[in-house]
Amino acid sequence: MAAAPRRVAILPDAVADQIAAGEVVERPASVVKELVENALDAGARHVRVAIENGGKTLIEVSDDGSGMSRDDAVLAVDRHATSKIRSAGDLVGVATFGFRGEALPAIASVSRFALVTADGESDATQVAITGGRVDQVAPAARQRGTTVTVRALFFNTPARRKFLRSAASETRAVHDVLATLALAHPTAGFELEVDAAARLHLPAGQDSGERLAAVWGRELAGTLVPVHYARGAFRVQGYAQRPGDARPTGRRTQLFVNGRPFRDPFLVRAAEAGYRAAIHPGDRPSLFLDILVDPSEVDVNVHPAKLEVRFRERIAAERAVEEAVREAIGALVAAAPVGDWRPLPALPEDSSWRRDDAPIALAFDEEAATPAPAEVRGFRAPLLQLFDTYILYEAPEGVVIVDQHSAHERVLYERVMAELARADAVGQRLLLPLTLELTDEELEAVQAHREELARVGYDAESFGGRSVVLHTVPSLHARFDAGACFREMVADLARGRFGGWANRLERFAATFACRAAVKAGQSLSEAEMRELLLQLFATDLPPHDVHGRSTIVQLPREELERRFGRR
């Protein structure tokens, strides 16, 4: 009886190498990413990348890093050879960006490959490989560092080469990869040359803000505020966009963990949650965040191209990101500036904002028994009201302008959210109940939000037909018109004017706050202005109202001096 034909066979090394290359080398940008990461791991202070035809014809990456000896250069192009790990335990908490000996054989198996390297102690070495076969190992001339040249990518795998995109698309991908790595390493210099023309030049020694402005553009960078936050095992640093500058489209996001770029839509959502009640639903802010954590707390080897990571404490990471963004956009520095000058600094830590919910007892006199908080002492007298709409005061480093309606809207929104949670708001009982005639849609809105209305102080009862009668109403301020506020709020709820809010209570609170706040055009006394500012700076997000607009605009002293030619 004849033996059954064998169906399982060991693949030839060349085929196995090409399959392995497919996990690492997807397109020219993948090659650039691996080679530049190797350069950075080698301590390079300057990296130069040159490509032709989108990288399909030529990719050349040169660095001034530590380089390699002849023996290491030959060994580096063998599969599974690396200078980064020695045991399986080293895969946990790996702090390097790539494995020099891991990517090189994968790239060399699908290209015409050449490596020239020198460690500064011995002669330089050149290793030439074609399609995974070593052609030459010879002496070369080079200063300390490494140059890797990749020609005819996928020349021996035409099916892979056929799926490459146009030269313009591949060039954009290479640019994006190099720009991302440049953002992660602002102290290193980077160059990109495309078809013999300079495309990117970033000098070494920049700080993160300068590098971000150089890569993302100064216009976008000017809308960002710094993020510095620590919680438990996590530290979060970087930049978040001011809520007033967020838009539905055109946003840019970049996440890093310990300086390593990665993608994570859930962490982006956590960051967006930090903007809750500060941007209009649908707006998408730009973010640049680096999450710093002990390397043992994060696995960076869950994706072949190292584009994803896994945190040991996932929930804690998301919470840290959300709170970091929330704290950053709540600082005074996040208020909109006038002109393109630097914004006012955040308030010092020793003058933290009040966050209790008790009624605020004002004390404007420095000799009063109960001194006013530091923020109020910084309001230089007199406070000015402009156009019966804006409150202006001198701060230590400039002029601050506050929109009285937006400011009161922020105050009322946070107060109402607290009342909705506690359900202990006390309404003012009317001697003569107020009867209002509503439309069918408005009457349905009243029925749907009866509980929320009661929690903020409205006792609304059906009175036959389409009428409701109000027995109690909120008592918010001297200019508050309870009947007009109720009618306008119910109309907004019925027509979906504040649609898009994911949270029903937040939508209700935003609607109520908008209609109940003092209006533009209403004259306020100086005591009322001070009271409003006190309450504003006791909220979580003073610089922003609930629509994504600015509550505070800053005019730094430096900007005034520049406008008047004093700088």
Query: Domain check: are 228 and 190 in the same one?
Result: no
* Residue that has been written with the tokens 């099916």 in this structure: 159
97 pLDDT higher than 90: no
CB 264 within 8 A of CB 317: no
**What's the Cα-to-Cα distance from 208 to each of 185, 244, 426, rounded to whole Å?**
8, 23, 50
Q: 259 pLDDT exceeds 60?
A: yes
Is 420 inside a domain boundary?
A: no
Count of domains for the chain: 4
Number of Cβ within 10 Å of residue 495's Cβ equals 13
Residue 7: predicted pLDDT:
67
62, 147 in Cβ contact below 8 A?
Answer: yes
Of 234-238, 288-292, 345-349, minimum mean pLDDT range: 345-349
Instruction: Kindly give, in sequence order, each residue whose CB lies less than 8 Å from that of residue 145, ignoring residues fewer than 6 positions away.
Output: 42, 44, 62, 63, 64, 65, 66, 67, 117, 118
Cβ(516)–Cβ(485) below 8 Å: yes
Q: Does residue 100 have a pLDDT over 70?
A: no
Residue type, position 190, single letter? F
Amino acid at the residue 28:
P
What CATH number does the domain containing 288 carry? Answer: 3.30.230.10
272 and 131, same domain (yes or no): no
Most confident stretch, 83-97, 168-182, 447-461: 168-182
pLDDT above 80 (res 374): no
Tokens of 376: 């109020």
pLDDT given for residue 339 in this prediction: 65
What average pLDDT does the chain have? 84
**Residue at which a domain ends, from 298, 330, 362:** 330
In a domain, 34, yes or no: yes
**352 in the same domain as 318:** no
Kindly state whether residues 373 and 463 are assigned to the same domain. Answer: no
Q: How confident is the model at residue 381 (pLDDT cuts 50, 70, 90)?
A: low
Q: Which residue has the tokens 């990665």?
A: 262
Return the pLDDT at 333: 82
554 φ/ψ angles, rounded to the nearest 5 degrees: -105, 140
What pLDDT sits at residue 542? Answer: 93
State the pLDDT at residue 173. Answer: 97
Residue 307 banded pLDDT, cuts 50, 70, 90: confident
Mean pLDDT of 294-312: 80
- Of 177, 204, 231, the position where a domain reaches its end is 204
- Answer whether residue 430 shows pLDDT above 60: yes
pLDDT-based confidence at residue 20 (cuts at 50, 70, 90): low
Q: What number is the average pLDDT over the span 176-180?
A: 96
What percentage of the chain reaches a pLDDT higher than 70?
A: 81
Q: Report whether 440 contacts 405 (CB < 8 A).
A: no
Asked if residue 1 is part of any domain, the answer here is no
> Is residue 342 scored above 50 in pLDDT?
no
Distance CA 67, CA 123 (A): 11
For residue 415, being part of any structural domain is answered with: no
CA distance 174 to 181: 11
385 compared with 464, residue with greater pLDDT: 385
| pTM over cut 0.85 | no
Which tokens go with 83? 């200078």
- Of 519, 521, 530, give the one whose Cα is nearest residue 488: 519
Nearest to 244 by CA among 208, 285, 203: 285
Determine, yes or no, domain membership for 389: yes
Q: Which of 243-247, 279-283, 542-546, 551-555 has the lowest mean pLDDT?
A: 279-283
The answer to whether residue 227 sits within a structural domain is yes
Task: Check pLDDT > 70 for residue 424.
Answer: no
Least Cα distance to 256 among 32, 97, 387 occurs for 97
Say yes or no: 512 and 528 in one domain. Answer: no
Per-residue pLDDT, 567: 74
Whether residue 288 contacts residue 212, with contact meaning beta carbons closer than 8 Å, is answered with yes
Q: State residue 464's pLDDT score.
A: 80
Please report the pLDDT score of residue 409 as a whole number.
94
**Nearest 5°: CA angle at 461, between 460 and 465?**
120
Does the pLDDT of residue 363 top 80, yes or no? no
pLDDT at 536: 93
CA distance 268 to 376: 36
Q: Which of 254-268, 348-362, 403-417 has the lowest mean pLDDT?
A: 348-362
pLDDT of residue 47: 98
> According to the model, what pLDDT value does residue 367 have?
36
Same domain, yes or no: 400 and 508: no
Predicted local distance difference test score (pLDDT) of residue 233: 93
**At 512, which CATH number?**
3.30.1370.100
- Residue at which a domain ends, from 272, 296, 330: 330
Token code pair at residue 74: 């030959």
Residue 427 near residue 527, CB atoms below 8 Å: no
pLDDT digits (tens, 9 = 90+) for 510-559: 888 888 999 999 999 988 999 999 999 999 999 999 888 899 998 888 88
The alpha-carbon radius of gyration of the chain (Å, integer) is 31
> For residue 59, what is the domain's CATH number?
3.30.565.10
Q: How far apart are the C-alpha atoms of 304 and 61, rounded to whole Å? A: 21
Task: Tell me what pLDDT residue 316 has.
Answer: 96
Range of the domain at 493: 426-473+480-516
Of 249 and 349, more confident:
249
Q: Give the C-alpha separation, 31 to 19, whole Å.
A: 15
Q: Is the pLDDT of residue 180 over 80?
A: yes
Query: Can you tell me the distance from the alpha carbon of 521 to that of 518, in angstroms, rounded to the nearest whole number?
Result: 9
Do 293 and 391 share a domain, yes or no?
no
pLDDT at 58: 98
Residues 376 and 446 reside in one and the same domain: no
> Which CATH number fits the domain that encloses residue 381?
3.30.1540.20
Q: If you average pLDDT over residues 467-488, what whole number do you get?
A: 87
Q: What is residue 101's predicted lDDT score, i.e. its pLDDT? A: 47
CA atoms within 13 A on the CB side of 49: 34
Which range among 98-102, 269-273, 300-304, 307-311 shows the weakest confidence by mean pLDDT? 98-102
Least confident of 341-345, 392-396, 411-415: 341-345
pLDDT of residue 566: 85
pLDDT at 372: 42
Residue 209 lies in a domain: no
Is residue 134 predicted with pLDDT exceeding 60?
Answer: yes
Q: Which of 5-9, 74-78, 220-224, 525-529 has the lowest mean pLDDT?
A: 5-9
pLDDT at 29: 96
Phi, psi of 107 (to 5 degrees): -70, -45
pLDDT single digits (tens) 138-156? 999 999 999 999 999 999 9
Q: Is there a domain that residue 102 lies in?
A: yes
Q: What is the pLDDT of residue 291?
A: 95
One domain, residues 118 and 165: yes
Q: Which amino acid is at 417?
A: M
Under the banding of pLDDT at 50, 70 and 90, the label for residue 102 is low
d(CA 143, CA 328): 45
pLDDT, one tens digit per residue, over 22-51 is: 557 889 999 999 999 999 999 999 999 999
Q: Are 305 and 258 in contact (CB under 8 A)?
A: no
Cβ–Cβ < 8 Å for 61, 32: yes
Per-residue pLDDT, 82: 56
Q: Which two tokens stand for residue 20?
A: 């392995």
What residue spans of 77-166 are helical by DSSP H? 100-108, 158-162
* Cα 99 from Cα 80, distance rounded (Å): 9
Same domain, 53 and 113: yes
Over residues 293-299, mean pLDDT: 90
Q: In terms of domains, do 154 and 232 share one? A: no
Mean pLDDT for the stretch of residues 286-300: 92
For 362, residues 6+ apart whose C-beta sits below 8 A from its C-beta are 372, 527, 530, 531, 534
Tokens 């001096």 found at: 561
Rounded to whole angstroms, the Cα distance separating 424 from 441 reads 28
Residues 174, 50 share a domain:
yes
Distances (CA, A) of 555 to 345, 393, 398, 534: 12, 11, 6, 20
